[in-house]
């Protein structure tokens, strides 16, 4: 039986009811922002059910104000909170925190996914320890969506793994492909490996070997090759793959550039009476630009590669931004994100076996220089 047949049916969306666990106490303006966000989410997803974890004395009055959220939520009481400055090691010891209980609900199967706007480091640590990686995944990665000149672009890893090897980059590409198909609705997203140049000889051995494996895999037709930093916002590919160190630097640089642009525009249009008049003339266009680049549209980074859906909302977001993070989690569950990752990893392994079988057997006594071309590094073709 082929790998794809073994996992037949993963393209069929989930139609039955499921529950998302929500850390009600995570975020700068929690729990008000969280409950208000759930009101928006419940309106968009009438069948949604949420396990709301936090202080019932604070949550019950809020739910009384938001009728849709109240109908969709079940409160699980706890007064312990993972603070923004708590170290991950301390968060791991806090077994009764709202974040830990929400993640435990996913681990037990009570919830299909978890959404939190709380401490990022704590969430990553708890998710890795409690949920663990999917079979065949070496390291989970942080993925998110951002704007580009051609539409939305997926980027990973964004900081979960500072150092990555060939296997990690290949797995990130598989997970990024599934993420783009699941959340962006793309049928065959293009994939690029972030590098210091687009030429095939650029970069270190790790990215070059990862590129060779991707070209030979089932997603080879989607693999664009190497991309550079400017290609991220140009929209050269739908998915950009890199290690967590580089990805986090690129992310923070992009955020800083956006803030700088906004500040410069503000200075330009407040510099005098003529500038203020000019602002009134161009305001409709600026409003469209502001809407297009609104960070709330891109809220909801995903920890991919875990036994369960984990979505990290920005801590400083508002209710609409948090609702978007809920949307992302809903999409991942409905479209069987993790099942698709399992299927694609199985196909990568199948590609490896076919490549190995196609290699001619070297004659007895042949030296290293007589080895068939392309066999170097075959031990890294797929997850163990």
Q: What are phi and psi of 52, to 5 degrees?
A: -95, 115
CATH number at residue 244: 3.40.718.10
Residues 117/122/125/127 CA torsion (nearest 10 deg): -30
- Same domain? For 77 and 182 the reply is no
Instruction: Quickly state the pLDDT bin for 365 (edges 50, 70, 90).
Output: very low
Residue 198 lies in a domain: yes
- Same domain? For 224 and 126 the reply is no
Instruction: Quickly state the pLDDT bin for 380 (edges 50, 70, 90).
Output: very low
User: Average pLDDT of 218-222?
Assistant: 91
pLDDT per residue as tens digits for the range 125-159: 999 999 999 888 889 999 989 888 888 999 999 98
Q: How many domains does the chain have?
A: 2
Instruction: Quickly state the pLDDT bin for 293 (edges 50, 70, 90).
Output: confident
pLDDT at 299: 79
Judge whether 195 and 202 are in contact, CB under 8 Å: yes
Strands lying side by side in the sheet with 113-116: 73-77, 49-54, 19-23, 113-116, 309-312, 301-304, 141-148, 151-156, 239-241, 191-194, 223-227
Residue 373 lies in a domain: no
Instruction: Quickly state the pLDDT bin for 184 (edges 50, 70, 90).
Output: confident
pLDDT at 67: 93
Q: Is residue 275 pLDDT above 60, yes or no?
A: yes
Q: Is 296 exposed, middle or buried (0-12, 13-18, 19+ CB in 10 A)?
A: middle
- Same domain? For 261 and 310 the reply is no
pLDDT at 193: 96
Judge whether 158 and 144 are in contact, CB under 8 Å: yes
Q: Is the peptide bond before 345 cis (omega within 30 degrees of 0)?
A: no
Q: What percent of the chain has pLDDT over 70?
A: 86
Strand 73-77 with 49-54, pairing: parallel
- Same domain? For 10 and 43 the reply is yes
Q: Is residue 378 pLDDT above 60, yes or no?
A: no
Averaged confidence pLDDT in the chain: 85
- Same domain? For 257 and 150 the reply is yes
Residue 187 lies in a domain: yes
- Same domain? For 53 and 65 the reply is yes
Judge whether 325 and 117 are in contact, CB under 8 Å: yes
Judge whether 306 and 135 are in contact, CB under 8 Å: no
- Same domain? For 190 and 265 the reply is yes
Which residues span the domain enclosing 284? 141-296
CATH number at residue 72: 3.40.50.10950
pLDDT per residue as tens digits for the range 41-63: 999 999 899 999 999 999 999 99
Q: Is residue 361 pLDDT above 60, yes or no?
A: no
Task: State the Cα–Cα distance between residues 126 and 109, nearest whole angstrom.
Answer: 16
Residue 378 lies in a domain: no
pLDDT at 254: 86
- Same domain? For 157 and 272 the reply is yes
- Same domain? For 243 and 101 the reply is no
Tell whether the torsion through CA atoms of 125, 127, 132 and 134 is positive or negative.
negative
Nearest one of 173, 119, 96 to 344, comparing CA atoms: 173
């Amino acid at each position: 039986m082929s790998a794809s047949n073994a996992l037949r049916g993963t393209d069929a969306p989930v139609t039955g009811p499921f529950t998302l666990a929500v850390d009600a106490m995570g975020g700068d303006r929690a729990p008000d922002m969280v409950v208000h966000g759930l009101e928006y989410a419940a309106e968009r997803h009438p069948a949604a059910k949420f396990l709301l974890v936090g202080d019932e004395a604070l949550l019950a009055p809020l739910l009384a104000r938001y009728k849709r959220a109240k109908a969709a939520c079940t409160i699980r009481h706890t007064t312990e909170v993972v603070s923004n400055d708590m170290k991950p090691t301390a968060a791991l010891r806090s077994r009764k925190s709202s974040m830990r209980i929400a993640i435990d609900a996913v681990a037990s199967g009570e919830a299909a996914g978890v959404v939190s706007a709380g401490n990022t480091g704590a969430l990553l640590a708890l998710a890795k320890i409690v949920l663990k990686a999917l079979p065949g995944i070496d390291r989970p990665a942080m993925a998110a969506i951002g704007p580009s000149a051609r539409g939305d672009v997926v980027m990973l890893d964004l900081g979960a793994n500072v150092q990555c090897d060939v296997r990690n980059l290949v797995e990130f590409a598989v997970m990024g492909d599934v993420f783009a198909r699941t959340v962006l609705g793309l049928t065959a997203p293009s994939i690029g490996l972030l590098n210091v140049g687009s030429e095939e000889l650029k970069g270190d051995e790790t990215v070059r070997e990862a590129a060779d494996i991707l070209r030979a895999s089932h997603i080879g037709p989607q693999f664009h090759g190497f991309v550079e930093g400017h290609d991220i916002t140009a929209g050269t590919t739908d998915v950009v793959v890199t290690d967590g160190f580089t990805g986090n630097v690129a992310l923070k640089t992009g955020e800083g550039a956006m803030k700088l642009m906004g500040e410069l525009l503000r200075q330009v249009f407040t510099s005098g009476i003529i500038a203020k008049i000019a602002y009134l003339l161009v305001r409709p266009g600026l409003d469209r630009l502001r809407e297009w680049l609104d960070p709330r549209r891109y809220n909801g980074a995903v920890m991919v590669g875990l036994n369960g859906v984990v979505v990290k909302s920005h801590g400083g977001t508002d209710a609409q931004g948090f609702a978007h993070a809920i949307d992302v989690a809903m999409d991942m569950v409905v479209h069987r994100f993790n099942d698709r990752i399992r299927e694609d990893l199985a196909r990568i392994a199948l590609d490896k076996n076919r490549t190995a079988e196609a290699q001619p057997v070297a004659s007895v006594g042949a030296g290293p220089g007589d080895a068939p071309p392309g066999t170097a590094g075959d031990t890294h073709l797929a997850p163990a």
